[in-house]
Structure formats: C-alpha cells, structure tokens
A and B are shown apart, each in its own frame.
Chain A
Amino acid sequence: MIKETFKQAVQNVLSNKVRTFLTMLGIIIGVMAVIVIVGLGNGMTNMMQDFYSDMGSDILSVNVMTASTRSVEVDDVYRIINEKPEYYKGLSPIASVGDTLRVAGEKYRRTYISGVNEDYMTINNYKVAKGRGIQYADLIDNKNVCVIGDYVDRKIFGGNGLGSTLKVGASEYRIVGVLEGRSKPASQYEGGNDDIVLVPYTTLMSVNNTSSVSQYYVVLQDADHSDEAQEFLQSRLKKLVSKDDYVYVMSLSAAMKQMSSMINVMVGVLTAIAGISLLVGGIGIMNIMLVSVTERTREIGIRKALGAQESTILTQFVVEAGVTSALGGCLGIVLGYVVSAIINQILPYILTDITLNVTPSADAAAIAVGISCGIGVLFGFLPARRAASLNPIEALRYD
C-alpha cells in the first residue's frame, strides 16, 4: 500500500514538471544558499587554520607604537620576558621594512620581509632546508645576510637561491639559507608563509636608523597561562611608555578563536537568512498543494467512493509534498555544489591576495535536505488534511 502511495505520488509530481519545478524553486534556492554559505564559512575557517596551524605553541603578538620620546628598546622586552621564564619560552623582534624585494632589477611587492632574531624560526616552526638559519653572530655584526622561504627560492631563484644575492631597498643581502616549504596550501602562494625573506633585525634597524622595533613575537611555555602571560606583558610594557602610546599584546590563538566565532556568527546569520528561503519554499509548496487538492477534489471523491481511508488520502498528499520538497532539496544540493565550484573558479580573480575555497560539507547538505523534507511534510499536512476530510458526496459532484 505505502509503495503504491509513493509510486503514485512520484507519478503525480512528475506529471506536471513545470509546476513542480516552480514549486520546488524556493526549496532549491534555499538549500543551495545554505550549502554555499556554510561552504564559504568552512572555507574561511580552513584558511585561517592553515595560516595559524604552522605555528607551534601559542604565540603572543606584541605591537608597540611609540609616538612620544620614550620608546621601548629590544632589551627592555628581553628583560621583561626573562623575569617570568615560567610563562615565556622566547621572543623574536619583528622589524619591518618599507622597501620591497628586488632581484635582478625585478620587484616583488608581495614578498614579506622581516628583521628577526635567531629564535624566530624555532618560534614559527620553520625548518632549514639548505644552508643555515639566522644566527646570533649575524645579529651582533649586523650582517647583510638573509634566509629565504621556499616560495621565494622556487619562484624567483628557480631552486638555486642559496649563495645568490637579493636587494631590499639600497642594501644587498647574501642568501645563507633556504627554509623548508610549509605543507599547507595557504602558505604556497604569493604573499603566503613561504613567500618571505628573513634578515637579522639588527641589520634592518641600522639600515632604518632606529633603535626600537614595533613588533615582537613572544612564545609561551604552555597555553594554560596564556591569559596571565598576556596580562603581565601588557602591564609591564605600559609602564615603559607614556599613556598616549599604544601597546597591544594579542594572543594568536585567542585572536583565532575570536575570528572563528565571528565567522560562525556570520555564517549563522547568513544561514538563517537562507533558512527563510526554505520557509518561503515550504509555504509555496503548501500553496500549490492546496491548489492541487482543489483541482483533484473529484479524484479524491472517486478514491473515497472506491474505499480509500482518510489516512490513505492524507498519506498520499503528505507524501506528494514530501517528495516535491525532497526532490527540490536534492536539486538544491547539486546546484549548491555547482555554484560552489563556479565560485572557486571565479574567486581567485576577485580576491587575489588570499586563497579562499568554498568547501561545502556533506553534513550541511544532509541537514538542508532533511529540513526541506520536513518542511514539505509539515506544510503538506494542512492541504492533505483538507483533502482527507472532504465529504465524498460533494467531492464526487465537484466539477
């Protein structure tokens, strides 16, 4: 019996293709939107995780902006760190430079150049593939040496960067080491974690003619004391500067968590909006089912005269609504994946500086279809009950 009901429901749904398609449109669009939006959220989360997961333990990023006369010296920061060895494992100043990388007259604007100390590579989990890293001796002597990332080595030097020279601003640096490439795809592009040039921070400071560095990475002993370590560092640094100056200590893991929750909220809101489309789709189904019940009043009368139970008629219409919305849900999934793929093709041209991949998840697809089925059944119920409760005599007389 239930098999017959399904067969007839599918026949009915397919017998009026245009109407069925238009009825399903709301569900199709809703499911598609949910899939693409959740995919986008997944993509953003993945991108962020790729970016940060290369770093080993938790890191505090310290920014000091000194506008007034007093400034924080590198040694001040070292001293604070050494006060609490139970909190901090080490640190590296990150000296920045205004100039771009130049190799053989060619400019590479996206390559990230930073002045670091001998601990930087350990802090950021970089391993030396060829040559050596930045060493303490380089720092003391302000040597014009550098270590390059895997991307720089492959794209600019064709894999033979070791021993060559490159220019940053007016200074020339000899490449003494090449770093291993990162495994994550987010690193392997222009401007990524592998597109870097590391030089001794002291060298950069002398070139820039400054005595302070505005950014530091501080590595923590463990993540458990992340908050205390952050607090302590912030308060001690504040004492060194005037109150107009800006000191900001941020935990990268906390920042990532914050970003994650922001992305989640955003995805949640967008999904809710897409969910409204599902709701509207459900109402569309209810509407067309009501029309269908009216159109088929006579059929219902005939079926009742032939001995159909009210429950059978009810099931027939509920199943029809369910089949319509389930079909819409499946088409929505297909469309969602297609649209995601199209977005992934187009996105690199629009967002050139980041790699964002829309990653639809099977979970979201399953939930979306489950919900659309549920909506179909829910909104099909009212028309179905109307059909089931029709008076057979009046239904038979209906034209």
Chain B
Amino acid sequence: MSTLIEFDGVCKYYQMGDTLVKAADHVSFKINKGEFVAIVGQSGSGKSTCMNIIGCLDVPTEGTYLLDGKDVGKMSRRELANIRNEKLGFIFQQYNLLPKLTLLENVEVPLVYAGIPAAQRHATAKAALERVGLGNKLKNLPNQLSGGQQQRVSIARALARGPAVILADEPTGALDSHTSREVLGMLQDLHKQGNTVVLITHDNSIAVQAERIIRLEDGRVVYDGDAHAPEAVVQPNFMMAEPKAGEEGTQA
C-alpha cells in the first residue's frame, strides 16, 4: 500500500498573548491509500489543527507534511488552492452548502474552479448527486432539504472531483442518530469502494466506525492503531496517572 498522507514531526504553534500554544506538537503518522482513519480528540486536542493541515488550509510551523509525496509546507497559496481542489474532498459539520445555488450548482463549484467545461460539469455533478440518492432534486435549493439530505449533497460535492482524500470534519455533529448512521454508512461504502477517508470527531462511538483511530491529546498522538482495540476508546483521562490541572473533566 502506498502512503498518501505522511506527517513527520508536524508542529503548529500559535502565539496567544504571551503564551505559546502548541496546537500540534511533533505529530507523526502515515495514512495509506484506501484507509478509513478516525482522528479523535477532545476540543483543544489539536485534531482541528491536524485536519486543517491535512486539508491544506494551513501549513505546519515545523515538520513536514507530504500529501501524495508532495511537501505541502513549501507550497504557495495558489498551489494550495489547486491541491485542495484536486486532491481533497471536504465534508463539514455544517454542510457548508452555498444557500443561493441549486444542488447541482453546489456540486459543480469545485468543478468550475477546476476549469471543466459546462457540459462535462453538469454530467459529473449529476452523477455524483445520483450516487448519494438525490438525482431527483437537482434544481432544489439547500434549504428545501433535510439536514441528512444536505449532508449527502456535501458528500456528493466532495466526491465530484474524484479526490485522493475525503476529509470529513464532524460529519454527523448536526444530525440525529438515524441520519448519522446513514451518513456514516455512506462513508463506509466510500471506503469499501477504495477511497481514502479521514474522519475527524470527538465522539468515540463515531470513531469506532473507522478501521483505525489516531487519538490526539494536547497536540500529541496518544494512540494510533486498530479502532476495535479496547485502549482505542478509553478516555485519556483515565489512562493518566496524574491528571493535569485545569484539564476538562478532571477532579481536584
């Protein structure tokens, strides 16, 4: 299996007042082509930072991030935009559809930025919407749809360009349990079809749907392995001998 995503000592530091926040502190892992990985962590664990770096929305302060063998940290903003368009399919918690565009137009947006001619664009977008079972609502506006349906549109949009990585950021965060299962099932189907899926979540019950879990805490990787191993889902607080002061959920 070829490596698709390679984090090697990735750090991301922010200056907040006079304290240096280490959002990512020497994070290293590899994700192979065709894997279904969940990056798990509580808020402040650095999972969003990792997602932003994987998604080429941000570049590491230190360390290297290779996407498909290319060093993202050395890319210009123009190249980053290109690589987002070409290699990455985003699925967001808030769906992030453009409210004034029809479903078809929404799915076409990344195709427009790729400079694909109109006829081909329509066909590709239509096929992607049919794939998520919304082929009969091409001309609808996003607000005419339920949350689950909107998330399916955003999946269709993520698929439209045939990306190397599908990056799902809390895709079920705004959905009820029934539609959550539906969306997760869809991600699993995509994985089975050979797509690389990276799922970012704080929820263990969601994370276990993946085949591998990378758990982050305080900007460090604390677990990386099989999603079904018992230690994968253990709350990190219980694993620690001495909880840090001020940590969420700790007792004095």
Contact = CB atoms under 8 A, between A and B. Distances in A.
B7 interface: no
Contacts of A12: 100
A298 B112 CA distance: 19
Contacts of A304: 57, 81, 84
B110 A307 contact: yes
Nearest to A12: B100
Contacts of B57: 304-305, 392-393, 396
Interface stretch (A61-69, A218-226, A308-316): A308-316
A307 B82 contact: yes
Nearest to B81: A309
A308 B52 CA distance: 16
Contacts of B145: none
A1 interface: yes
A299 to B, nearest CB: 6
Contacts of B85: 306-308
A396 B82 CA distance: 18
A11 interface: yes
B98 A302 contact: yes
Given A305-B96, A307-B161, A396-B92, 11 more contacts: A11-B100, A302-B98, A303-B113, A304-B57, A304-B81, A305-B55, A305-B84, A307-B82, A309-B82, A393-B52, A396-B96
Interface residues of A, number: 21
Given A302-B96, A306-B157, A312 B113 contact: yes
B78 interface: yes
Nearest to A313: B81
A15 interface: yes
25 contacts: A1-B112, A1-B115, A11-B100, A12-B100, A15-B100, A299-B98, A301-B96, A303-B98, A305-B55, A305-B96, A306-B84, A306-B85, A306-B113, A307-B81, A307-B82, A307-B84, A307-B85, A307-B86, A307-B161, A308-B85, A308-B113, A309-B81, A309-B82, A392-B57, A396-B92
Interface of A: 1, 4, 11-12, 15, 298-299, 301-310, 312, 392-393, 396
Contacts of B70: none
Interface in B151-196: 157, 161
B93 to A, nearest CB: 10
B113 A298 contact: no
A15 B113 CA distance: 22
Most buried by B among A11, A305, A307: A307
B109 A303 contact: yes
> Which 7 A-B residue pairings sit nearest by Cβ, starting from the closest?
A307-B85, A306-B110, A307-B113, A307-B84, A302-B96, A309-B81, A392-B57
Nearest to A310: B77
A299 B92 CA distance: 13
A201 to B, nearest CB: 81
Contacts of A310: 77-78, 81
Contacts of B55: 305
A392 B77 CA distance: 11
B22 to A, nearest CB: 17
Contacts of A303: 98, 109, 113
A312 B113 CA distance: 8
B114 A307 contact: yes
B90 interface: yes
